[in-house]
Amino acid sequence: MLFNSIEFIIFFVVVVSVIYTIKIRKFQHLFLLLASYFFFYYSSNYLIVLLIFTTIWDFYFGEMIYKAHTMKTKKIILAISLAGNLGLLGFFKYSNFAITQFNIMGNYFDFKEQVPLLEIALPIAISFYTFHSITYTVSIYRNQITPVKFLDYAIFVSFFPQLVAGPILRAKEFLPQLREKLDNLQNLRLKQIIIENSNLKFGITMMALGFFKKMFFADNIAPMVNDIFLNPIGSDSITIVLGAIGFGIQIYCDFSGYSDIAIGAALIMGFKIPINFNKPYFATSPADFWRRWHISLSTWLRDYLYIPLGGNRGSKFRTYLNLISVMFIGGLWHGASWNFVIWGLLHGMYLAIHKLFSDKFPGLKNNKFFNSKAGKIVSILVTQYFVFLAWIPFRIGDLDAALYSMSKYMLFDFKTHDTISFLAGHKLPIVLMMLFISLSFILYVKPNLYTRISNLKIKYWTLFLTSIMIMVFLFYNGDSLDFIYFKF
């Protein structure tokens, strides 16, 4: 069920209406779980059994970890739990990729037999709900939480607003909200989720702007990006650069738009889930970029992978290796394809090189130039040059086409004979890209857009949202395009 569809709007209105009407918290949560399962079944049919299996698997392993008497036993149980989660993820997401690589090696060594590919579908959202579930058992192992009732845990794993594409939830942050609602309502003698006016207004604002990002910007820039990268070999540098910038804007508006809709929908129902983006294209370094882009994933990788690997506690070489290894896994998490591995390795190298320079020249942090306005502009431009370079292999699955495009991006050829005709054929995407850049700069200078809008008087707030929706429908081409991160 796509967020940008009439089916979802009807579904969400019904869910909110029922939750608001039901006065007993237990039944509210039971209905919310059933609604989440319906949402997932509508999107993936029988593959919902994998979601239910993961939920049951980690719920009982969480109980066993909590009841274990020795640290050694806890570690063994946690290892089995992680093996089950990652084994399921690996089988469905990476089996055919591994078989393909094996067959390629077999051709190299003249093996006569080829291993046939498995006829399996990639379960929607498996990368996300696997990471959600892992946080539960690990948090119990780390004594950060205690086991909860199955109903609460099942809601946490399957919570429909962010189930398909995040933000990635953490058990220790989400589960207490289910209990706090009961505690906060004891004086009222009402066990229900409160939908406050402030939550409703702010949530609707976030959802509206999320739809605007996705349907106004991302979906209308996508055709130009598709034209460029469908067969980029032979294109000049200007075309490739426009494609890289266009895709960078498209994926940001697409993914952050989804996140805004998810956060807004959750807030309307009384739940707070973490922000996922914070002006990433104004990052001043690779490390700063990952503090701003897909925040829930980058912090998950930091806390559940980078730090357990040793983080920056070992030698400098080990730290650099950890950074590259974590981003390699982060790239592979996005998809079973070498282009995602290249994207992850590039970002790993960016982080390692940035860390190397920071270690070699610690005084740069206090350098007058880099702390000046001009220095920050230079830092932003240099950082984004490499960020948008990495978007090329992320977007292009064919390695030859990706390498050609990257070479044209880095070694500018200054050819312009096809530029005017290309721009003339893609007027709307070019205008939208320029508008996005302008609006992004304004919002960078004057932040807190969502708060400013939601605090408007009701008549001005309604007028603003109506204008946003009119713009969306005026430029809507009739096709509900999938969100990019649905495939991950």
Where in the sequence numbering do the catalytic residues fall? Answer: 334
For residue 408, what are the contacts with CB-CB under 8 A and spacing of at least 6?
232, 235, 236, 237, 240
Distance CA 82, CA 100 (A): 25
Q: Using alpha carbons only, give the angle 48, 207, 184 rounded to the nearest 5 degrees.
A: 80
Query: Could you give the angle at which helices 373-395 and 237-268 cross, rounded to 10 degrees?
Result: 90
Cβ atoms 236, 416 nearer than 8 A: yes
**Cα–Cα nearest to 262, from 143, 365, 359, 169:** 169
Helix (H) or strand (E) holding 156: helix 150-158
Contact by Cβ (8 Å): 283, 390: no
Give yes or no for a contact between 155 and 29, defined as CB atoms under 8 angstroms apart. Answer: yes
**Other residues' Cβ atoms within 10 Å of the Cβ of residue 486:** 15
CA proximity to 42, closest of 85, 3, 13: 3
Helix (H, G, I), strand (E, B) or coil at 314: coil
Residue 325 is classified by DSSP as H
Could you give the 3-state DSSP secondary structure of residue 271? coil
Q: How many CB atoms are closer than 10 A to CB 109?
A: 6
Q: Where are the alpha helices (DSSP H) in 231-277?
A: 237-268
Measured CA distances, 408 to 87, 171, 349, 399 (Å): 40, 45, 20, 14
Whether a cis peptide bond, with omega within 30° of 0, leads into 176 is no
Q: Using an 8 Å Cβ cutoff, are 192 and 22 in contact?
A: yes
Comparing C-alpha atoms, which of 370, 154, 383 is closest to residue 279?
383
Distance CA 415, CA 286 (A): 30
Q: Which single residue is written with the structure tokens 């029922």?
A: 18
- In the numeric block, the tokens 């994207």 are attached to 343
